[in-house]
Amino acid sequence: MRLIVARCSVEYTGRLDASLPTAVRLIMVKQDGCIAVHADGGAYKPLNWMNAPNTLVEADDLLVVTNPKDERLVIRLEEVFSDTTVLMGEDPGLTKDGVEAHLQELLALTPGVLGEGTVLVQREYPTELGPVDLLCRDGTGVAIAVEIKRRGEIDGVEQLSRYLERLNRDGTLRPVRGILAAQVIRPQARALAQSRGIECVTLDYDGLRGMRPDELRLF
């Protein structure tokens, strides 16, 4: 990784046009060729950047980065305060715990929390509009489409509504109940769900984890 601290101005042309007047900034050039220009505030977003794959040409006081999609980043260096290169090697990468996929996995193992007698039919049940997270049947045999979210918001209700509309066209499934299952559900999402006859279930991630049959046996 190459770290340049310099007074510079930057122009980007591509998906839109953006320009950055002169100031002192950090320019990060990474091993894979991608570039980010950071100011001294706001952790996340670079002011300007260019992702790999791209081509970096250095000429005089200019850094010109172009990519196959005809995007172009031009950095004019006006005063370089430091320019150092560090060898870092491969990164082993991040492991995450608690994303939507884990919720789905856990809920698939314990569908009973959606109601006494509920059993799993299929995960990622396909429809024309995309896969339903879980297809279940309740204690009386009625089909349930379950949309799982970490945070239940209005989008999730819309998504489930679209699936339900499609699933209810299928005579072998109809009528299909809808359940939005999430760790927290926003009042607005709850209201919209109710107005469409969609049920809301709040999930307790640690609770679900505790109910996994394989883990129960350990204690």
Partner DNA sequence: GACTCTATCTCGGTA
Partner DNA sequence: TACCGAGGTAGAGTC
Interface residues with DNA (CB under 7 A) are 12, 14-16, 18, 42-51, 68, 71, 73, 94, 96, 99-101, 129-130, 149-151, 153-156, 159, 186-189
Please count the residues of the chain: 219
From 50-58, 107-115, 139-147, 168-176, span contacting a copy of itself (CB under 8 A) = 50-58
d(CA 82, CA 3): 8
DSSP letter for each residue of 164-205: HHHHTT-TTT-SEEEEEEEEEE-HHHHHHHHHTT-EEEE--H
**The two structure tokens encoding residue 119:** 């059993």
Number of Cβ within 10 Å of residue 47's Cβ equals 16
1 in contact with a copy of itself (CB under 8 A): yes
Per the listing, tokens 């570039």 go with 35
Interacting residue with a copy of itself among 60, 68, 84, 141 (CB under 8 A): 84
16 binds a copy of itself (CB under 8 A): yes
For the bound state, the minimum distance from the C-beta of residue 15 to DNA, rounded and expressed in Å, comes to 3
- Smallest distance, a copy of itself to C-beta of residue 104, A: 14
Of positions 53, 61, 129, 169, contacts a copy of itself by CB under 8 A:
129
